[in-house]
Homo-oligomer: A and B are copies of this chain.
Amino acid sequence: MKAAVLVGLEQVELQERPEPEAGPGWVVVKVESASLCGTDAHQYDGRIDTPFPRVPGHDFAGRVESIGDDVDPTWVGRAVAVKPSLPCGECLECAQDKPFDCKKKKLIGLWSDGCLTEKIAVPVVNLIPRPDDVEAWQASLLEPIAVGLNTVDRLRILLGETVVVLGQGPIGLALTRLCALSGAGQLIVTDAREAPFEVSRAYGASDCLDVTQVDAKERVLELTGGLGADIVVETSGFPSSSAMVLDLVRKEGKVAHIGWANDLPPLPVIPIMAKTLTVFGVGGNGGRGQYERALELVRTGRLDLDPMVTHRFSLDDIGEAFAVAASKSDGAIKVVVTP
């Protein structure tokens, strides 16, 4: 079967690979749609170290083709979304049959070969049944929503609170929509491109700040009567954005930090104390039902993924897909790949 393979920095190529087989407790999924996220792009551009050669990709949906031993046979033929991290299978939690509490989960596509291929084997515990009215391309875009849910679940927005979302890439846009749905009052977003702001507004943003044009800190303080926002969510992973969060938040406010990059400036402690802040670090999707809830938000149309998908490629054009996703050229937000 065909598989996209990262063979070096900014080098991805199609290779022929053997079809996977399902061991006990595992299934083989025929991939119907996959999406590229920042992790994929950073594996490609080298900001995330990857053992080459590696089949990348972890956010996908498809249909169960075959099953291994100890798997309920009714899974065969079912449409599914798939959670992207594999339990280690060795720790106490895994040994006690609680795979989602595994502290050593490994991302598919990074620590093992991923989903940018025709078929992939995954543990049955990673499957989520996909209803008929959710298409494969939609179900291949659940990860940023699940990460966003893991964030808003912890932020516990009070109805009417002012929220700032820094960065309007896919995770920033997902957060914009989720904060709007969760009761944010004024909802201010920032980005260094105008491109995503149309989506931001459709998702509920009240004010969109292009940080290349305005002083975001000054503007947020203006928009909040000089107090700062109740909640600030940093998703961009840009040092200049991360450096602002403590200035933008009000006294006794909350900060969530999701944007990940090796060159982020550290957070000074004094303002965290002086302002009596609470800072939440968000390192993933939580693994406690967020995927299932993300699927339901998509199914009911409360989170419409359509405006987020700017580019679609077939697996045969994987090189172009990665080039667009990594460069964010041509107004790219989210790139979907169909095998």
Chain A residues in the interface with B (C-beta under 8 A): 70, 72, 95-100, 103, 124-125, 149, 152-154, 156, 158-160, 178, 181-183, 185-186, 242, 251, 257-258, 260, 262, 264-284, 286, 293, 296-297, 300, 302
Point out which of A160, A262, A267, A271 has the most chain B C-beta atoms below 10 A from its C-beta.
A160
Q: Is the CB of B267 within 8 A of A260?
A: no
A153-B158, A276-B281, A278-B278 are known; give 12 further A-B pairs, CB within 8 A.
Answer: A96-B124, A97-B124, A103-B251, A152-B183, A159-B181, A160-B297, A185-B300, A265-B266, A274-B281, A274-B283, A275-B281, A275-B283
Q: Which residue of B lies closest to A178 (CB)?
A: B159
Q: In whole angstroms, how far apart are the Cα atoms of A158 and B182 in the complex?
A: 8
**Known interface pairs A72-B95, A153-B158, A293-B160. Does A270 touch B276 (Cβ–Cβ under 8 Å)?**
no
**Known interface pairs A97-B99, A181-B183, A260-B273. Does A159 touch B297 (Cβ–Cβ under 8 Å)?**
yes
Q: Is the CB of B95 within 8 A of A97?
A: no
Point out which of A156, A264, A281, A282 has the most chain B C-beta atoms below 10 A from its C-beta.
A281
- Pick the residue among B158, B277, B293, B297 that contacts A281 (CB under 8 A): B277
- Shortest C-beta distance, A29 to chain B (Å), equals 16
Q: Is the CB of A266 within 8 A of B267?
A: yes
Q: Is the CB of B296 within 8 A of A185?
A: yes
List B contacts of A293 (CB < 8 A): 159-160
**Known interface pairs A160-B293, A270-B264, A272-B257. Does A281 touch B281 (Cβ–Cβ under 8 Å)?**
no
List B contacts of A267 (CB < 8 A): 266-269, 272
Q: Is the CB of B149 within 8 A of A153?
A: no
Q: In whole angstroms, how far apart are the Cα atoms of A97 and B96 in the complex?
A: 10
List B contacts of A124 (CB < 8 A): 96-97
Q: Is the CB of A270 within 8 A of B274?
A: no
**Known interface pairs A159-B178, A182-B159, A270-B264. Does A284 touch B278 (Cβ–Cβ under 8 Å)?**
no
- Shortest C-beta distance, A33 to chain B (Å), equals 23
Q: Which residue of B lies closest to A148 (CB)?
A: B159
* 15 CB < 8 A contacts A-B: A72-B95, A159-B178, A160-B297, A181-B183, A185-B300, A257-B272, A258-B273, A262-B270, A267-B267, A269-B281, A273-B281, A274-B281, A276-B282, A276-B283, A277-B281
Q: Which residue of B lies closest to A242 (CB)?
A: B269
Q: In whole angstroms, how far apart are the Cα atoms of A326 and B47 in the complex?
A: 48
Q: Which residue of B lies closest to A87 (CB)?
A: B97
Q: Is the CB of A152 within 8 A of B159?
A: yes
List B contacts of A156 (CB < 8 A): 156
Q: Which residue of B lies closest to A71 (CB)?
A: B95
